[in-house]
Every structure is written in structure tokens, then in C-alpha cells.
Structure 1
Amino acid sequence: MKTFQKKLHFIILFGLFLSISSIYSQTSNEVATYNWFDKNLGIESMDFKNGSAHLNFDQTDNNENRYYFSDDFKTGSLTYNGQNYFDLYLKYDIYADELVVRPYNESNTTKINIVKENVSSFKIGNEKFVNLKEVNLQLFKGGYYEEIATGNTTILYIKHYKEKKKILKENVTLLQFVPQYEFVLLKDNKFISINDKKEIVQLYPNQKRKINDFYFLNKDLRKENPSLFMKNIMKYINNLNQ
């Protein structure tokens, strides 16, 4: 029986949260209900239980890691096979492009790679990621992208990934993970690469001078935080076009 049906049966049996008007609306009561059952039934009851174990034997230099920001688990949410899960412990392995979940019980050290093809979207903190299954893999990497609405008709997608390099340090082979990015804009129902200034100018030729000025004034940000730079410039261009 599917997890959703199990939860519905438990709601009827125990009479919890009777004030919920509809089990399909994401009210605060519904979120609390799902959280209660997920925690009490355990991760083995969830639809994504059949993912492979997440293993990491990396020996890295300077505490680097393969994950998005940190190898710590953070609170997040997930949409999997059309079912919503809340207050999960998640982290995102951007080297392997795998979303990892940890059971609620901290004594259980099992970590699971969630089956990617069944994931529609997930959130870690306030950041939303979507699985761009429809993206042409000959043009883009595909998989999980951070999604940022930059205007009424445009959405910026950022692919966070890392390249692995081996280094020899004190006769020990260690790994370095170098952050990389791919930037894609959804504009006029088309996915368009915007990985350099020329591609952005081609999309907005009337704003060429202001785009050049933005690049010049924010060159340090572009070097230190390419992701934030791209979010800022796309929002800036959208404001110019309003």
C-alpha cells in the first residue's frame, strides 16, 4: 500500500488533526500530520526507501567536500512521486548529483540516495531545486538545478557541481573539489545558456551598455560568488525591462 494511503488510514484510526478540511491542501495542520506519521512510521515506510546507500570515503584536502555548501544534513522538504515530505534531513551531493536523506532516528547511521527520476523538486533551507528532466541533455547537464524566479516571464536555473582533482600532499593522495556552475535561463518557454556575457547581451541587446557596466562594477562578486552574481544581474535586467 502506498505511503499516502497508509497515512490516510492512520488519520482515520487515531482521529488526529480532525480540523483538516482537505488532505490535498498544504495547510499547517497537514504538514504537521505528515511529519508525525513520517517520524513515527520511520523512513522504511516512505516511498523513497529503495534508494541506494550513500557512501563517502573521500580523503580531502583542507576539509573540502563534494556537497552543496556543507556535508552536514539540513532540514528540507521533498516532492517524490507526487507525494510531499516535510522536515527531512537532507544534503545534496553535487559531485554525483545525488540527493541524500538521513532517517529521523539519529542513532540510525543509514544514508540513502533518493531515486532521482522520481524527484520533482526539493528544498534545503530556503533554496529550491528542481529536476529538469525535460532539458536537452545534449545542450545542458540536466538533473538538479536551483530555481530562481527573476521576473514575471523568466526563471534562472543554476547547476551547482564540482570537479574532482587529485593532489599529492606529504606523500598522501588527497582530493580537491572545485565548484563549477552552469547557468540556464527559461525565457519564452525556451531553455537558453547564459554562461557568459555575450550570451546575455544577445538576449537583451538594448541593455548592452548597462550589462557591461554591471559586469565591471561587480567583477569581484563574479569571481568570488558566480552564483550570486548571476542571480543579481538577471534580477537587475528584469527591473530594467519593466
Structure 2
Amino acid sequence: MGRLIKFLFCLIGMIMIIPSKAVAQAPNAQVYNKFDELVNPSNTGVFNGIGYEEVHRTINENHKFFLTTAFVEGTLYYNGQPYFSQLLKYNVFDDLLLIQAKDRGNLSLFQLIKEKVDGFEINGHYFTNIKSSESEELNGFYEVLAQNGEMQLLKKHARNINQLIKDRVVYYEFKPKEMGYLLKHSDKLYEFNSKREIVKLFPDAEKSIGNYFSSERKTLKINRDQFMVNLFRNINLENSSKE
């Protein structure tokens, strides 16, 4: 029986045992979580990835994962369906999403099938999976820094790898690799990293872009992501005012 059919039975059951006012106020996450509690987690359709084995031993805080090496509770959008309160970890270097399954008290580690991952949210950061047949080299997980309608400002996280040897043991360290940004609009992808490339994307806003780069040099130096987010929002506001 598919997850959707089981979910409908679960929803009917909840309506029968929960007061109508509570049902109306209950968020979707609560309903889905209730469903996953009633069904064996390994049968919900999400735990069909492959086993994951770590091949890089690290010796310091320069690891390959996003923010932390620990699994953190987050939301997974997988094969068209949401899965809330999942233990997730994003391997930035290999661009893989890992999940820790709770099954009968045992913990199992899986590497999710990348093509089925639509997106995920961990530690307040939302990632989308770019799947473009026209620009396959751009495919992968990107953090959504800002969004306005169909337009998204995306950032690719990446790591450089270095090998270390200590006491005849090989270790690895991973340090952030500076990447450009991606603009997604109406399923079209546009790479940019410089002022010239941004002006090329928004020629009507050339003057305001130039003024922004001049006035916000400090922000660009200290927090490049925030600089791009603010610029993106300013450009969108300017374009909206002209429509």
C-alpha cells in the first residue's frame, strides 16, 4: 500500500479522535509525523537509498559536512513528498545527503538517492536540488539564499581537500571553496560572480548595481552572501517598481 493511501487512512483516524478545532489548527507536519509514527519508518518510501561508508578520516574541525558532523533534525522533500523531523547530514564535498533511520530502536545510515531528493532544510538553511538536462555541470544541491516569485538566488557550497600525515596515519581536511552564484528564473539557470556578470543579467539596473557595489564594499568583504542577498532584493524591488 502506497504512502498516500496509508496517509489518508491516518488522516481519517486523526479526524475521528481529535476535536475539529485542533485538527484545523494542526500543521501539516503534525499530520505527516503522526502517519510516520503509525507506519514502520523503513516502509515510508524514504529509506530506499544505499549504505554509506565514510572514507576520509579527519583530524580537526575542517570536515566535509555542512555546519556540523552531527545529524540534525530537519525536513526532507523526497520523491514529491515531505518528511518532517528527519535526522539529516549534508556531505558538501561529495554533494550527498545522508539520513539516519530509526527502525525498531536501531539506527541505520543511508545515502539518499540524489535524483529523488527535491530539497531539504537543516539548521534554518533550505537547499534545492537542481536537475537540469541543459546544464548538467550545474546540477546538485544549492542553498536558496533568497527568492522572489519564480526567481531564486542560489549558492553552491563546496570544499577543497588536503591530505595530512600524522604518526604515519593519513588524515584529510576540507576547507571552503569559493564558488559563484546561480540565478534561477523560469527554469533557466544563470551563473554569475562579478559585477560585470550581474549587470549583464540586469542591464536596466546597471546604475543602481554600480552604486551598490560602491557603497557596500565593506559588506562585500565581510559577508559576501549577505551582500548578494541585499543586491538581489534591491534589484527585484527596482524591477517591480517599473512594472
Whether the 8 Å CA contact 1:65–1:177 is kept in 2: the answer is yes
* TM-score, L = length of structure 2: 0.79
Matches of 2:147 and 2:32, distance apart in 1 = 32
Q: SS where residue 86 of structure 1 aligns?
A: strand
Say whether residues 1:117 and 2:78 are aligned partners: no
1:24-35 → structure 2 map (5 Å cutoff): 28=26, 30-35=28-33
Other-structure match for 2:8: 8
Could you say which residue in structure 2 is the equivalent of 1:143?
Answer: 140
SS at match of 1:198: helix
Classify the secondary structure of the residue corresponding to 2:158.
Answer: strand
Give the distance between the partners of 2:10 and 2:204, measured in 1 at CA: 59
Q: CA deviation at 1:121?
A: 2.1
2: distance between equivalents of 1:148 and 1:157?
6
> Aligned pair 1:234/2:232, yes or no?
yes
Q: Kindly, what percent of the aligned residue pairs are identical? A: 28
The secondary structure found in structure 2 opposite 1:90 is strand
State the match for 1:54 in structure 2: 52
Distance in 1 separating the partners of 2:103 and 2:229: 37
Over the aligned positions, Cα root-mean-square deviation in angstroms equals 3.1
Deviation readout 1:19-76 (Å, 9 max, x if unpaired): 699xxxx973543232123234342112121201222242224222111111222222
Q: Which runs of 5+ in 1 are unaligned?
A: none
More helix by share: 2
Deviation, 1:218, is 4.4
- Letter aligned with residue 41 of structure 1: V
Query: How far does residue 208 in structure 1 lie from its aligned partner after superposition?
Result: 3.7
CA distance in structure 1 between the aligned counterparts of 2:82 and 2:147, rounded to whole angstroms:
25
Matches within 5 A, 1:1-242: 1-12=1-12, 15-18=13-16, 28=26, 30-104=28-102, 108-134=106-132, 136-138=134-136, 140-152=137-149, 154-169=151-166, 171-180=168-177, 181-187=179-185, 190-219=188-217, 221-223=219-221, 225-241=223-239, 242=241
1:51-108 CA-to-partner distances (Å, cap 9, x unmatched) read: 0122224222422211111122222212222222112121211111111112246953
Alpha-carbon distance in 2 for matches of 1:29, 1:235: 29
**CA 72–171 in structure 1, closer or farther in 2 if over 3 Å, else same:** same
Shift of the 153–119 alpha-carbon distance from structure 1 to 2, 3 Å rule, reads closer
Letter in 1 for 2:7: K
More moved, 212-221 vs 112-121: 212-221
Distance change >3 Å, CA 182–CA 142, structure 1 → 2: farther
The answer to whether the 8 Å contact 1:160/1:182 transfers is no
Task: Tell me the distance in 1 between the aligned counterparts of 2:37 and 2:233.
Answer: 39
Distance 1:110 1:119 in 2: 19
**How far off its partner does 1:227 sit?**
3.0
Unaligned runs of 5+ residues in structure 2 are none
Which SS does the other structure have where 1:110 is aligned?
strand
Cα 1:189–1:69, aligned 2, differ >3 Å: closer, same or farther?
same
Residues 225/67 of structure 1: CA separation in 2 closer, same or farther (3 Å cut): farther
For 1:188 and 1:16, locate their aligned partners in 2 and report how far apart those are by CA, in whole Å. Answer: 39
TM-score, L = length of structure 1: 0.80
Distance of 2:117 and 2:211 partners within structure 1: 40
Q: Is the 8 A contact 2:162 2:173 kept in 1?
A: yes
Q: What amino acid is aligned across from residue 139 of structure 2 in structure 1?
A: G
CA contact (8 A) 1:75 1:87 kept: yes
